[in-house]
């Protein structure tokens, strides 16, 4: 259908001054010094706010366990295994080196507890025990990890084990993935299983019957208000790594809720990992917001219909529209009406399209409708109107 753009068009010109929404806005950031890669973005939309060397594969370390948890969680969902399963710890699992959950060969331990432990305290032995229980062998589980990576669009992953432990003391080989793909993995996990943060927000694991007490490895828990995940990692070559996340909850409109994910790989000190992860999260939290751009049934313009009883007809948006935007973003809307619109019309009839532009790029088209029935003027009224216009009355 053809369109006609009216000169008196509806321009929203929404200057999104989100400084009114928050107390602090953060200038552009740079955390690139003495790290290998970094990224921060929105969990649901996947929009990236800042990145540094995010497409280069880097040593993954125990961040690997996000994939181990995801694969296992999906097998639980399929019914292949159950959270209530008893896992029999093998000799191989019990003797896995590195960060440990203190497993003993031959003991039976609950699968859900093992799954939680790899996220909270990063037990390498627990990761191997899980893999063997779910797939029958560590090698078979690695194939499941690789298949899952391919399925969700991860292209840089290399897995040699489900724990992230290097192959030897010289670290001649270990798991790899880019920061961009780590973000993709974390977002997939959080979106599919949002309750995972009920595990990753725990400050410690306490199991009296096993005489086991250990603090969570995530250094931001309890240090930065609101942080509720997600996973740490460390090897000599990987450096100090952290995938962190924080939700933003709007008390009045749940559609403005969102979640920020930050990925920091290869920090050289604990303070650097903490401070740069905080900087990434704060940048995403205070510079980006989901705003309601258009309200459903909002009056967005007025259309002239020459043969209507009332020639000036108000039009409304047929749907609401929310958009993730950065502080200071200018959003504009423009209505294009159909050509030769004539009465009669019924309430809700579409008469054109409202287009939303973000930085000159169209991001949304919304049909616009008349707000009520539009009656056709009688012949006498139209004739009188014509003569009045002719005489300039």
pLDDT at 81 over 70: yes
Between CA 138 and CA 317 the distance in angstroms is 55
Confidence of residue 17 (pLDDT cuts 50, 70, 90): very low
Domains of the chain: 3-17+295-391 (2.60.410.10), 31-288 (3.40.710.10)
What is the residue-averaged pLDDT of the chain?
92
Q: In the beta sheet, which residues pair with residue 40?
A: 50, 262
pLDDT digits (tens, 9 = 90+) for 293-326: 999 999 999 999 989 999 999 999 999 999 999 9
Between CA 153 and CA 363 the distance in angstroms is 24
What is the predicted pLDDT for the residue at 88?
98
C-alpha 218: how far from its chain's center?
20
Burial status of residue 171 (CB atoms within 10 A of its CB: 0-12, 13-18, 19 or more): middle
Q: In what order do the strands lie in the sheet with 37-42?
A: 48-52, 37-42, 258-267, 239-248, 229-235
Percentage, residues of the chain above pLDDT 90: 85
Please give the average per-residue pLDDT across 248-260, as a whole number.
96
Q: Which residue in 262, 251, 252, 327 sits closest to 289, CA to CA?
A: 327
Please give the average per-residue pLDDT across 140-147, as a whole number.
98
Please give the average per-residue pLDDT across 144-171, as a whole number.
97
Between CA 98 and CA 123 the distance in angstroms is 8
Q: In the beta sheet, which residues pair with residue 208?
A: none
Percentage, residues of the chain above pLDDT 70: 91
- Helix segments in 24-110, DSSP class H: 65-78, 91-94
pLDDT at 341 over 50: yes
Between CA 205 and CA 215 the distance in angstroms is 6
8 Å CB contact between 16 and 330: yes
pLDDT at 391 over 70: yes
């Amino acid at each position: 259908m053809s369109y006609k753009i009216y000169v008196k068009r509806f321009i929203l010109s929404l200057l999104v001054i989100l400084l009114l929404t928050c107390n602090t806005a953060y200038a552009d950031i740079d955390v690139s010094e003495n790290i290998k890669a970094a990224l921060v973005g929105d969990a649901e939309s996947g929009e990236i706010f800042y990145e540094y060397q995010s497409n280069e594969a880097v040593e993954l370390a125990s961040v690997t366990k996000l994939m181990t948890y995801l694969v296992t969680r999906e097998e639980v969902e399929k019914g292949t295994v159950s959270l209530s399963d008893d896992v029999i710890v093998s000799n191989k699992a019990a003797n896995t080196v590195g960060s440990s959950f203190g497993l003993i060969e031959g003991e039976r331990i609950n699968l859900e507890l093992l799954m939680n432990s790899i996220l909270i305290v990063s037990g390498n032995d627990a990761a191997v025990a899980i893999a063997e229980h779910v797939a029958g062998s560590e090698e078979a589980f690695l194939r499941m990890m690789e298949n899952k990576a391919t399925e969700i669009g991860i292209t840089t992953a290399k897995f040699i084990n489900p724990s992230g432990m290097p192959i030897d003391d010289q670290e001649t080989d270990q798991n790899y993935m880019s920061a961009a793909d780590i973000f993709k993995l974390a977002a997939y996990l959080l979106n599919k299983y949002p309750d995972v943060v009920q595990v990753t927000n725990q400050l410690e694991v306490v199991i009296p019957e096993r005489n086991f007490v250990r603090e969570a490895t995530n250094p931001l828990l309890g240090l930065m208000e609101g942080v509720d995940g997600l996973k740490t990692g460390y090897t000599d070559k990987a450096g100090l790594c952290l995938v962190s996340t924080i939700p933003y909850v709007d008390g009045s409109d749940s559609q403005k809720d969102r979640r920020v994910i930050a990925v920091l790989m290869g920090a050289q000190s604990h303070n650097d990992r903490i401070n740069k992860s905080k900087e990434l999260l704060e940048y995403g939290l205070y510079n980006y917001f989901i705003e309601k751009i258009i309200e459903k049934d909002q009056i967005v313009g007025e259309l002239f219909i020459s043969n209507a009883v009332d020639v000036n007809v108000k039009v409304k948006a047929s749907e609401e529209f929310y958009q993730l935007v950065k502080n200071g973003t200018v959003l504009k809307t423009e209505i294009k009406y159909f050509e030769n619109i004539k009465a009669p019309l019924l309430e809700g009839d579409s008469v054109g399209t409202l287009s939303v532009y973000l930085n000159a790029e169209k991001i949304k088209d919304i049909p616009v409708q008349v707000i009520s029935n539009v009656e056709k003027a009688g012949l006498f009224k139209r004739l009188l109107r014509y003569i009045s216009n002719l005489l300039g009355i």
